[in-house]
Amino acid sequence: MNIEIVPVRSRPELLEAAISYFWEKWGSETSYRFYRNCIEHSCTTKSDLPRFYIAMDEERIIGSYALLRSDLNSRQDLAPWFACLYVDQDYRGERVGALLQQHAVQESREFGYQQLYLCTDLTGYYERTGWSYIGEGYSLNDDETRVYAYTV
């Protein structure tokens, strides 16, 4: 297994596949244009965020993550956000998730950030890879979620 983590903006030939991957894993029936618009603009912005990444095994996309300005509406005071972590079932247990997290930390460090945040309903997973629980946050529809930080 030879995993390569690829910034979508550096591989325009993978743009369509990456959009489909993120949408299929994270989107809904009505959010395809949202994902397309966000990922396309992330490929041309001069800003450091947002950024979308895919994990490749040969020519197959097997995972993803994004670095975003905001992933939780109630915590606009925090940035950047680690989001859209996904690892295909066939690759779970192979430390691909940890590899994607380490890559995100390195990218955030290179962009000059000192903290990285995420929100999730999972407990136990992110703690094992060095994230610290810092409190609760809320979505627009008042759903509660856990907020974590990682010192970059």
Instruction: Please spell the DSSP secondary structure of 62-87, one letter per residue.
Output: EEEEEEES-S-GGGTT---EEEEEEE
In the chain, how many domains are there?
1
| Helical packing angle, 15-26 and 32-42, nearest 10° | 140
Q: Over the Cα atoms of the chain, what is R_g?
A: 15
Q: Find the CATH number of the domain harbouring 41.
A: 3.40.630.30
Cα 106 to Cα 103: distance, rounded to the nearest angstrom: 5
What pLDDT tens digit does each residue of the chain (152 aa) get? 789 999 999 999 999 999 999 999 999 999 999 999 999 999 999 999 999 999 999 999 999 999 999 999 899 999 999 999 999 999 999 999 999 999 999 999 999 999 999 999 999 999 999 999 999 999 888 999 999 999 99
pTM of the shown model: 0.95
User: 47-85 pLDDT, tens per residue?
Assistant: 999 999 999 999 999 999 999 999 998 999 999 999 999
Q: What range does the domain containing 67 cover?
A: 3-151
Describe the strand order of the beta sheet including 81-87 as a list of residue ranges. Answer: 3-7, 51-57, 60-68, 81-87, 115-120, 144-151, 132-138
